[in-house]
Amino acid sequence: MTYPSDVAEWPSVELTAICRTPGCPAENIPFTGLYYENPEPPIYRGQCGQCGQPIETLLGDSDGQQISGPTRAS
């Protein structure tokens, strides 16, 4: 796929991110946001705004299915 130069035109989806970093002020608190597709895996990525660590749990809002993370079904 060829991506447009403007990131706002990239395919996107609304996901819920959950930081699992022990001791983070946002640990286990769900945050919903718009995630843009990346040209290389992982397709959807997030970073915690509190601790700066990568988000390993991204959930689809409509069905709650895990999109990324260590327990993602293949």
Q: Could you tell me the residue ranges of all domains in the chain?
A: 9-68
Query: At residue 57, what is the residue type?
Result: T
Q: What is the pLDDT of residue 15?
A: 93
Query: Whose structure tokens read 């990525």?
Result: 45
pLDDT higher than 80, residue 66: no
| pTM over cut 0.85 | no
Structural tokens at position 33 = 């946001």
Q: What is the pLDDT of residue 3?
A: 78
Quick one: pLDDT band at residue 72, thresholds 50, 70, 90?
very low
Query: Whose structure tokens read 């991204």?
Result: 58
